[in-house]
Amino acid sequence: MSRVNLAGLLPSELEDLAVELGASRYRGRQLAAWVYRKGVFDLEAMTDLPKDFRERLTERAVIEVPEPERVTVSQDGSRKLVFLLADGRRVSAVLMPDDDRMTLCVSTQVGCGFECRFCLTGVMGFERNLTPAEIVGQVLAANRLLAPAQRVTHVVFMGMGEPLANYGALVTSLRILTDARLGVGYSPRRITVSTVGLVPGIEKLGREGLRVNLAISLHAATDEVRTRLMPVNRAFGLAALMAALRRYPLAPRQRIFFEYVLLDGVNDSPEDARQLARLLRGLRAKVNLIPFNDWDGAEFRRPPLPRILAFQSVLLDAGITTTVRWSKGEDIGAACGQLREPVPA
């Protein structure tokens, strides 16, 4: 019988497992605290659990989270963590310090099947979904790396893969990360899920009551340009996407984030900015402009600075909060759209 991985189980499932093994639910809660609060993955080290319970657990369960195989530090202070998974594949997460924030960008899939033309990860193609243990494990590993002085303060699901295409594992991970009583305990306001705009997934996520932030990889304000950049737009065009976003339940003061990679001569004209302002009218929105990060073989270029600032001005003049996000970790292949890990032959 294959043993269950305790990391990646909901705290309530850990309680159920404790009962199944003849212990009380309280033991399951202790187990959750060890794994998710203290980041301890060795059953032997869980000294407040009775020995016979630990023995029964050892027969039935393992605790397996990916450990970073390599950590690369960028000149700007960000760190790329490369995880070797049990099947030999690799994914990355990126730690980005910023004032008193420590944001971790996590991956949800190995590779990605959406083929956005400006994204290096898309070039890899889709290999497989990550499990909840592999997703939550990136956060736990980053916190272990930072301990004791620091902790990850914000988690963004913007790494390798499309989170909503791995829906079940995503939602389980979010429940573990946001469980204030027994999980990792992040406020949902500190977690952001980024999607290319899978409308059914957005609608489903809205009904989960998780209250996490939503970010849309938009990158164009017309269907024509967006379809050219992102083939997914053929399945879910801008009209359907914007209608779903207008229905998306937002908490007071919560906004939807829009990611917009600026590509020289493709989507960066003042008219593109005006179209974008029209598209977002009436929505509680914040736009993050991301000047393109060059990579070898890319068919796009970063626009010159005056063009980036002119684009931003149009949006600001329309009353839309807009920031330019100068990517972190460019020198270590950790910037937005640059994540790619070789798979050993």
Q: How far is the CB of 3 from ligand SF4 (least distance, A)?
A: 32
CB of 107 to ligand SF4, least distance (A): 9
- Give the nearer residue to ligand SF4 in terms of CB position, either 114 or 258: 114
Measure the CA–CA gap between 322 and 315, rounded to whole angstroms.
7
Residue closer to ligand SF4 by CB (options 119, 242) is 119
The token pair at 250 is 């937002």
Residues lying near ligand SF4 in the complex (CB under 6 A) are found at 112, 114-116, 119, 121-122, 160-162, 196, 217, 337
Which element (helix H / strand E) includes 25?
helix 25-32
Separation CA 238–CA 230 (nearest Å) = 12
63 or 261: CB nearest ligand SF4 = 261
Contact 315, 273 (CB under 8 A): yes
Alpha helix stretches (DSSP H) within 61-193: 120-124, 132-146, 167-178
| Shortest CB 294 distance to ligand SF4, Å | 15
Residue 35 in contact with residue 90, Cβ under 8 Å? no
Is the CB of 43 or the CB of 287 nearer to ligand SF4? 287
CB 120 within 8 A of CB 181: no
- Nearer to ligand SF4 (CB atom), residue 122 or residue 132: 122
Q: Which is nearer to ligand SF4, 27 or 89 (CB)?
A: 89
30/109 with CB nearer ligand SF4:
109
CA 121 to CA 295: how far, in whole Å? 11
CA dihedral of 11, 44, 146, 331, whole degrees rounded to 10: -90
Q: Residue 184 CB, nearest distance to ligand SF4 (Å)?
A: 24
Question: Cβ atoms within 10 A of the Cβ of 167, count?
Answer: 18
At its nearest, how many Å lie between ligand SF4 and the CB of residue 68?
20
Nearer to ligand SF4, 57 or 238 (CB): 238
What would the two tokens of residue 192 be?
A: 């952001």
In the bound complex, what is the minimum distance in angstroms from residue 199's beta carbon to ligand SF4?
14
The DSSP 8-state label assigned to residue 264 in this structure reads T
Cα end-to-end distance, the chain, whole Å = 30
Q: CB of residue 119 vs ligand SF4: minimum separation in angstroms?
A: 3
- Residue 196 in tokens: 């290319």
Angstrom distance (rounded) from CA 152 to CA 186: 9
Q: H-helix or E-strand containing 289?
A: strand 285-291
Tell which residue, 190, 35, 43, 64, has the closest CA to residue 134. Answer: 64
Cβ of residue 99: shortest distance to ligand SF4, in angstroms?
Answer: 27
Q: CB of residue 112 vs ligand SF4: minimum separation in angstroms?
A: 3
Q: Please give the torsion angle defined by the CA atoms of residues 207, 114, 72 and 190, in that order, rounded to the nearest 10 degrees.
A: -20
d(CA 246, CA 301) in angstroms, rounded, equals 32
Residue with the shortest CB distance to ligand SF4: 122
Nearer to ligand SF4, 11 or 111 (CB): 111
